[in-house]
Amino acid sequence: MSVILFVGSKQYSQLSTVFDKISAITESVKFIDFFENSSVSAILEDGDDHFSIFLNGVHLESPTVVVFDPKYLAQQFGATEEWASRLITQRNWRAFNDNLISILPGKKLNEPAAVQDILPKMKQLILACESGLKIPQTIVSNDTANIVNFGEKFGSLITKALGDPTIPVVGEDKAQRILMTAPLDHDILASADEKQPFPVLVQKNIEKRFEYRVVLVRDRIFAFRIDPHAHPLLATDYRRGGFMVKYVLTDLPIDIAGKIAILHEKTRLFSASYDLIEGIDGEFYFLEVNPAGVWGYIDESNGGVISDAFAEEVLAEFAQADQPSRLIAAQ
């Protein structure tokens, strides 16, 4: 019998909420929970052309749809034996997760190759421009003089991570910090070394009216407005506000929604989160796209509109699959 297979952790509301909604409609759904002591095995014997998957001792038929998100397996930093054990565990579960997804046949939504292809921020900016979206003026460089000249031309600057935003913390209890968007002070640049240790992404600081987290599930658009003036912590990067942030469901201007839809089509992703700024000049600016953008807490405070759509789209794929085991949907 064909099944919808969830892979991840029920502690991660982004997965568990969709799983619960689908479970209320069909019994053809299973969950491999890496943190619930699930017993999972993949067996390949001589002469076989595929792995047989066993969950808690029961053989799983090839799934029609697989919903997964490895975000809960993010690498952590620290300096204790407990940290080292956790890191090794996470790395190996992540490796199993990646291997499992790679051996499942058929069409894949949020195809791993598409995810990897869209991760580079410089490519995201190019695709946004091709889609008709405005972007902040941008420089990526390790040359301090070039960054200074860029600031003299465009004024106030911000900087953000070009790649992995997690940085280790040395000599503190905290295992890691997240490198968030931050102002780039001209006085600091003036006294900086001629060359930075590595290239950094620097952009013109757009004076904001609002920020937006826009979640797409296939062709469904859910835009949430964030007020960066509600608290000083939200001014540069609203994520600093944590649960203080209010996400207000709203409609984007028709032309902006259309351009986001074009960009989403270019990414070849099933679901993704897009970050936008509305400047005080009324213009909208694209910042970045995250193929594994977190939306669980936004969904909870907005009546479950995203998880409803996600569940409906997964069920639609499950019902329409021509061949059981040939369709995989990856969040």
Can you state the angle between helices 121-130 and 254-267, rounded to 10 degrees?
Answer: 130
Reported confidence tier of residue 195, pLDDT bands at 50, 70, 90: confident
- pLDDT score of 298 more than 50: yes
Looking at mean pLDDT, say which of 103-117, 180-194, 267-281 comes out highest.
267-281
What's the distance, CA 98 to chain centroid?
16
254 vs 64, which has greater pLDDT? 254
> In which order are the strands placed within the sheet that holds 52-55?
40-43, 52-55, 58-60
CA torsion angle 73 79 80 84 (round to 10): 40
pLDDT at 46 over 70: yes
Q: pLDDT above 70 covers what percent of the chain?
A: 89
Beta bridge partners of 197: none
| pLDDT > 70? residue 48 | yes
Per-residue confidence (pLDDT) for residue 98, from 0 to 100: 87
d(CA 197, CA 214): 34
pLDDT (0 to 100) of residue 329 = 44
Looking at residue 69, the DSSP 8-state letter turns out to be -
Q: Does the pLDDT value for residue 326 go beyond 50?
A: no
For residues 275 and 287, the answer to whether their CB atoms sit within 8 Å is: yes
Whether residue 58 has pLDDT greater than 50: yes
